Amino acid sequence: MTPLQRLGPEALGLGMTSQRARDRMVERLQETGIRDLRVLAAMRQIPRHLFIDEALASRAYEDTALPIGCAQTISQPWVVARMTEALLEREPRRVLEIGTGSGYQAAVLSLLVDEVYTVERIDELLRQARRRFRKLGLPTIRSRHDDGNAGWAEHAPFDAVIVTAAAAALDPRLQAQVAPGGCLVAPVGGSGGQQLLRLVREESGFRQDVLGAVSFVPLLGGVL
Ligand code: SAH
């Protein structure tokens, strides 16, 4: 059974939150260059409207970032799709996410890889995300309240690390937790503009692919 089938009518949604709305979002993702059918199938299944406030639910399947409280946002679906696609090319089994936020990216990943580890610095957001994981029945997601700049050393190395907030430069501790052959996908840059990067760990060091311009909330230090 899929998470949606388990949950019944609420997750399936109605009108602007219906399966039809999710299907249309996925069609648009495909039209705008998302090719990986596994990613499209996962995003067709995860009810994005359950990861945002009810007052915004009617906008859940627009291709836009939306506020989730605490001055943070759920990423734009296209960006979630592109990052997931970039990471899946390396066929990871265990993935670390920095910046749980609403939990949506972690939920999508959990349908595609064996284990998802996710770290969030704002306790209130993490609690909400955990409630969503429980409600949807996504037991392969493990989460932690901490400053994600340090990664999650106890469970390292990871086949892939995905950072969903932007830093001026990547913290070397995150790179150190990428397994050989694995990758790190992250927005990098300051107010002058951010680029989505994929660093692939090769024997001689990291190879860098530039995936395009993006706009993320900043990666901050400390915990709240
Ligand atoms: N992946 C999220 C996107 C959330 S926006 C989603 O699918 O909804 C980025 C998130 O990163 C915010 O929740 C923010 O609080 C968190 N964040 C910022 N700096 C962080 C840090 N140093 N460690 C962990 N989380 C951080």
Of 18, 58, 75, 215, the catalytic one is 75
Q: Are 143 and 133 in contact (CB under 8 A)?
A: yes
pLDDT, tens digit (0-9, with 9 covering 90-100), for 30-64 = 999 999 999 999 999 999 999 999 999 999 999 99
Which one is predicted more confidently, 222 or 8? 222
CATH class (in words) of the domain with range 63-214: alpha beta
pLDDT surpasses 70 at 1: no
Rg (alpha carbons) of the chain, rounded to whole number: 16
DSSP letters for 179-198 = EEEEEEEEEE--TT-EEEEE
Q: How far is CA 130 from CA 16, 118, 133, 139, in A?
A: 25, 10, 5, 10
């359950």: which residue's tokens?
Answer: 50
CB count within 10 Å of CB 131 equals 12
Reply yes or no on whether 204 is catalytic.
Answer: no
Domain ranges within the chain, ordered by starting residue: 63-214
pLDDT tens column, 71-130: 999 999 999 999 999 999 999 999 999 999 999 999 999 999 999 999 999 999 999 999
pLDDT digits (tens, 9 = 90+) for 143-175: 999 999 999 999 999 999 999 999 999 999 999
Structure tokens at 2: 């899929």
pTM score of the predicted model: 0.95
Whole-number Å distance, alpha carbon 121 to ligand 1 midpoint, is 7
pLDDT at 9 > cutoff 80:
no
Mutate to test the pocket of ligand 1, among 100, 130, 152, 214 (most ligand atoms within 8 A of CB): 100
Tokens 């927005």, residue located: 187
Residue 191, C-beta contacts closer than 8 angstroms, at least 6 positions apart:
none
Query: Rounded distance, CA 212 to CA 197, Å?
Result: 8
Helix extents (H) in the chain = 3-7, 9-12, 19-31, 37-45, 77-88, 104-110, 123-136, 172-176
Cβ proximity of 158 and 95 under 8 Å: yes
Sign of CA dihedral 72, 145, 45, 166: positive
Shortest-distance atom of ligand 1 to CA 122? 15
The residue whose CA is least distant from atom 14 of ligand 1 is: 99
pLDDT surpassing 90 at residue 141:
yes
Structural contact between residues 148 and 120, judged by C-beta atoms closer than 8 angstroms = yes
Substitution site in 164, 215, 224 for ligand 1 pocket (most atoms within 8 Å of beta carbon)? 164
